[in-house]
A and B are shown apart, each in its own frame.
Chain A
Amino acid sequence: MIRVVLPAHLRTLARMDGEIKLEVEGPITQRSVLDVLEARYPMLRGTIRDHVSFKRRAFVRFFACEQDLSHESPDAPLPDAVATGTEPFLIVGAMAGG
């Protein structure tokens, strides 16, 4: 079970509250987690990563286990603590603006 935390605006858009729990098959990576997330909440498509290139939006960051994983390969394994559900995968709106 993968735990995902969305930023407030995307929780509103997806009409959900709190953490999301996802069943992800195969290797646990940014890509596999986001694929399952967007399949369950299709209104999130295009808001975290590009529809076609799947490139992360510039002002969206990925944190987990007190690390910034934003610049990791989307196919790199996420930390074991995320894969086991001990720690959540955080999708964060970058601190930008005044």
Chain B
Amino acid sequence: MSSIRLLIGTKKGAFILTSDGKRKQWAVNGPHFGGWELYHLKGSPADPNRIFASQTSSWYGQVIQRSDDGGKTWNPPGTKPEDLMGPDGMPKGESNMFLYNESAETGQPLTTHQHYDGTQRPWEFKRVWHLEPSLTDPDTVYAGAEDAALFKSVDGGTTWKELARLRSAKGQLWQPGAGGMCLHTIVLDRAHPDRIFVAISAAGTFRSDDGGKTWRPTNRGLVSKYELPDPDAEVGHCVHCITMHPSRPNVLFMQKHWDVLRSDDAGDSWHEISGNLPSDFGFPIAVHAHEPNTVYVVPIKSDSEHYPPDGKLRVYRSRTGGNGWEALTKGLPQQDCYVNILRDAMAVDQFDPCGIYFGTTGGQIYASADAGDNWTPIVRDLPPVLSVEVQTLS
């Protein structure tokens, strides 16, 4: 019998919500790691029982957690003595060690980036925003970090190595967005196993076609009139999220700081598809599991007013790949609603009809089992939600 698992990261712990394929009755399990910020949890497509979690704290820094039993038990990878022994016989405990690679072998060691005030600052690790497990290998996982960099583990999260050439893609011109200079989106392509897309605030999108050895900016068509002195600069744009349907890997959708955009050539060029949206500012963007031209966004009023326009929480759906959008409101609050939906806090399941889920900074998790036509809160009073991921299990 099929079932579903939602992996919820919040400001004060992780929650796992489970249901059967009908998606009517839900069990809420948690908090896991109570009191810590759980920026992101994601299951391995190659082994759904393996789940990676980014656990962070302003006090105690970064911890990576891994479950090999679907979220029942967790361990920081490599901290058990039998897991990893150093030459002195002691376990190493390196699963939370993210060191920037400044060696000459990266080709272009880069040590500073632009700060808010235009000065150059050294890269300094702060936290992992996003974990992206390999599509095929349960031991391989990518981590998107603040300060912006991409790390890769090939031993189940036990050790990490930076794919440092990414920072050679004009990293000296990258700068922090309001949330920090973070690599927050990683998109893998099943059709092109060596292709990786990443998105960074505020730098833009970047693509590698050789497994992360080399990178190039893919921001042509992005216009940031009030954020950058050169509105169509090659890098520096505040991209909030990008997504792709696996059946159409050259088509990407983007929610930028302002503007919703689309690329039909794997990021080589972008064009705006904001159309009739009430606001084209927002954070997440998602694609229907079975309709690659059906896209979802949640408009937010503005860059300084992080809440829905008119106090009405509305998901907007385009069935035409953009430009034409319809408001989805049934079951969502249509007055006095001033929550935000963060970039990693919306996801779809693989059932038919497709289910879609999002979490709010007010702690609600909303679910639709009919592609967005009708919505129901699964749970209303969690801590502020940072991320939502879905595992469709059979």
Which of A43-51, A62-70, A77-85 is found at the contact surface with chain B? Answer: A43-51
Contact of B60 among A38, A39, A42, A93 (CB under 8 A): A93
Q: Are B59 and A38 in contact (CB under 8 A)?
A: no
A9 to chain B, nearest CB (A): 6
Assess whether A16 is interfacial by the CB under 8 Å rule. no
A43 touching B60, Cβ below 8 Å: no
**Complexed CA–CA distance, A9 and B31 (Å):** 14
In the bound complex, residues from chain A placing their C-beta under 8 Å from that of B91 are 42
In this complex, how many residues of chain B approach chain A with their Cβ under 8 Å: the count is: 21
**Of A8, A10, A38, A47, which is in contact with the most chain B CB atoms at under 10 Å from its CB?**
A47
Cβ contact within 8 Å between B79 and A46: no
Q: Are B61 and A47 touching (Cβ within 8 A)? A: yes
Binds B, one of A17-25, A26-34, A52-60: A52-60
Q: Check B312 for interface membership: any CB of A closer than 8 A.
A: no
Chain B residue contacts of A93, Cβ below 8 A = 59-60
Q: Tell whether, in the assembled complex, residue A43 and residue B57 are in contact, meaning their CB atoms are under 8 Å apart.
A: no
If over half of B's interface residues share one DSSP class (helix, strand or loop), that class is named, otherwise mixed; here it is loop
Considering only CB atoms, which chain B residue lies closest to A13 in the complex?
B63
Inter-chain contact B94/A59, CB cutoff 8 Å: no
Task: Let me know if B76 is at the binding interface, CB within 8 A.
Answer: yes
- A1 close to B (CB within 8 Å): no
Residues of chain A within 8 A (CB-CB) of B93 are 38, 42-46
Contact A46 B99 (CB under 8 A): no
The one of B90, B94, B99 that contacts A39, using a Cβ cutoff of 8 Å: B90
A71 to nearest B CB, angstroms? 17
CA gap between A42 and B159 in the complex, in Å: 13
Contacts of B360 on A, CB cut-off 8 Å? none
Give A72 Cβ to nearest chain B Cβ, in Å. Answer: 20
Provide 8 A-B residue pairs closer than 8 Å at the C-beta atoms, listed in order of the A residue: A9-B35, A42-B79, A51-B97, A59-B60, A60-B59, A60-B60, A93-B60, A96-B59
Taking A42-B78, A46-B61, A96-B59 as known contacts, 10 extra A-B pairs with beta carbons closer than 8 A to each other, sorted by chain A number, are: A9-B57, A9-B59, A39-B90, A44-B93, A45-B96, A47-B96, A48-B60, A57-B59, A57-B61, A59-B59
A residues contacting B by CB (< 8 A) are 7-10, 12-13, 38-39, 42-48, 51-52, 57, 59-60, 93-94, 96
| Shortest 5 CB-CB contacts between residues of A and residues of B | A42-B93, A45-B93, A47-B60, A43-B79, A59-B59
